[in-house]
Amino acid sequence: MLRKDRNLVETMFHNGDIKVLCSTSTLAWGVNLPAYCVLIKGTKVYDSAAGAYKDVGVFDVQQIFGRAGRPQYDKEGEAIILTPFKQMDEYVKMMQNK
């Protein structure tokens, strides 16, 4: 996406003109766009150095989830992660610091 188009979309989302924003993890990690609800669809990312897919780490999940329910914008927020059932416990434990 061209920089000017990206800036326009970010501004429109921030102002509430766009209600739903779908993006790559790059936007979620690098831009301060608050949202009521954040959804992570899938927990595998491609690692070009390793030449394979790897699991998203807990820090990255927390960073992305941190966009949900910012106190200056909302009283609460929601964060949802979609991952295979066999990995669910792993992410729950990570989020609980166990």
pLDDT band at 29 (very low <50, low <70, confident <90, very high): low
User: Tens digits of per-residue pLDDT, 36-49?
Assistant: 898 999 888 888 99
Q: Which helix (H) or strand (E) holds 16?
A: none
Whole-angstrom distance, CA of residue 18 vs CA of residue 87: 33
Kindly list the domain boundaries of the chain, sorted by start residue. Answer: 3-95
**Exposed / middle / buried, residue 55 (Cβ in 10 Å: 0-12, 13-18, 19+):** middle
The CA-atom distances, in angstroms, between 5 and each of 26, 27, 32, 55, 75 are 16, 14, 17, 31, 30
- The helix (H) or strand (E) run that includes residue 80 is strand 78-82
CATH tag, 3-95 = 3.40.50.300
Q: How confident is the model over 45-75, as pLDDT tens digits?
A: 888 999 999 988 888 888 888 888 888 888 9
